[in-house]
Structure 1
Amino acid sequence: MTSEGAGYERRSAAAVIAPVTVRKLAKVPFVELAEGRLQGVVSSGSDVERVYVSSITAGDHGLSCNTNNNRPCGGLSGGSRACGHLRALADAAVAQYGLARVARYLKVELAAGEEDLWAGLHTTTAPNRAAEVFSGFLRHLAYLETPPSNEPLPELQWFPAAGAVS
């Protein structure tokens, strides 16, 4: 490497990693691997006013699914059998990041040739993290309302910028 370093190292931005496959944002508008969890927001199939805040913890594979009003998901059976929201979240994560990366992050061991993330999960009940996850989602949404500008936003200096790849 030259003394100048890679282009992205000279800027306060990182390269954006393209999704592995195209995913539908209407069903799962927010998915991330963060804070030791696969977490995100899943749209309700029956009520446009309701979303589900779902997460799977890395390591112990703890499941959590609650509405945006902090009510438990009725489909999460005893906290250890996944509901449809958690399955949609996992599918969106695999589409976004790829099976290998999601499995590695969650510390899931898959048999050779296994293509189903759920085959390696040994689920338990997780603490409710809906407030934290939903708050992060709302924070991300707020930036969509920020008027376009060429001026830097100090709180976004860590965020990947378009055109930041060398």
Structure 2
Amino acid sequence: MSVWEKSSTVRVVPSARPRKLAKVPFVELADGRLQGVVSSGSDIGRVYVSSVEAGTYAFACSTNNNRPCGGAHGWFCNHIRALVGEAVLQYGAERVARYLKVEVAAEEPDAHSLTDAMTATHPAQGDRSAAAQVFSRFLRHLAYLELTPVTAPLPEMQWFPTTRAVA
């Protein structure tokens, strides 16, 4: 058994390229969507929860207290464009395209070509109901960053099955 398997921490897959977390502190490919938290460009105390659904590219963007984004009216707002850009940095363009089921004509896709391919389909605005779950997951990730690194198990992680065989 390797050292990381004996600790309470999980091995983290490194980003495809380094990211700056100030604009998009949280991005994930989960629940059939690209989703994350994007900082407001005008108000330091406001963040937006943005998402793009795989396959349909239905998009949603609202503040953390569920007020709709003023820029997401019939097209991707700047928050969603920033989210796609950071997802490409985090996961790589090919993985993001594969997850979102985007057909890109470019040989080497990038965030711009992914966004262009998705918006060419004229996606509809999606359901904002997942915003609370995404924001809650973001807050939980922030809480883990405040913990001091230890090898002892975390109580809230005890429900994970163990890989050891029971004698």
Q: Is the 8 A contact 2:4 2:11 kept in 1?
A: no
Match runs of 1:100-139 below 5 Å: 100-113=94-107, 114-115=109-110, 116-121=113-118, 122=121, 123-128=123-128, 129-139=130-140
Query: Over the residues paired in the alignment, what is the CA RMSD in angstroms?
Result: 2.2
SS at match of 2:52: strand
Q: Which residue of 1 aligns with 2:146?
A: 145
The one-character-per-residue Cα deviations of 1:52-100 (angstroms, maximum 9, x if unpaired) are 000001111110000012100000013xx00000000000000000000
Matches of 2:61 and 2:80 in 1, distance apart? Answer: 7
Larger deviation, residues 7-16 vs 131-140: 7-16
SS at match of 2:144: helix
Q: Which runs of 5+ in 1 are unaligned?
A: 159-166
91, 98, 101: which is aligned to 2:85?
91
Structure with the bigger RCO (C-alpha within 8 Å, sep 6+) is 1
Q: Is the 8 A contact 1:31 1:39 kept in 2?
A: yes
Q: Is the 8 A contact 1:28 1:88 kept in 2?
A: yes
Alpha-carbon distance, 1:149 to partner: 2.7
Give the % identical residues.
58
Larger deviation, residues 139-148 vs 7-16: 7-16
Matches of 1:43 and 1:10 in 2, distance apart? Answer: 35
> TM-score w.r.t. structure 1 length?
0.81
Matches of 1:107 and 1:57 in 2, distance apart? Answer: 10
User: Structure 2 vs 1, CA of residues 48 and 106 (structure 1 numbering), >3 Å: closer, same or farther?
Assistant: same
Alpha-carbon distance, 1:26 to partner: 0.3
Q: Is the 8 A contact 1:8 1:15 kept in 2?
A: no
30, 48, 51: which is aligned to 2:47?
51
Q: How many matched pairs?
A: 151
> TM-score w.r.t. structure 2 length?
0.81
70, 77, 88: which is aligned to 1:74?
70
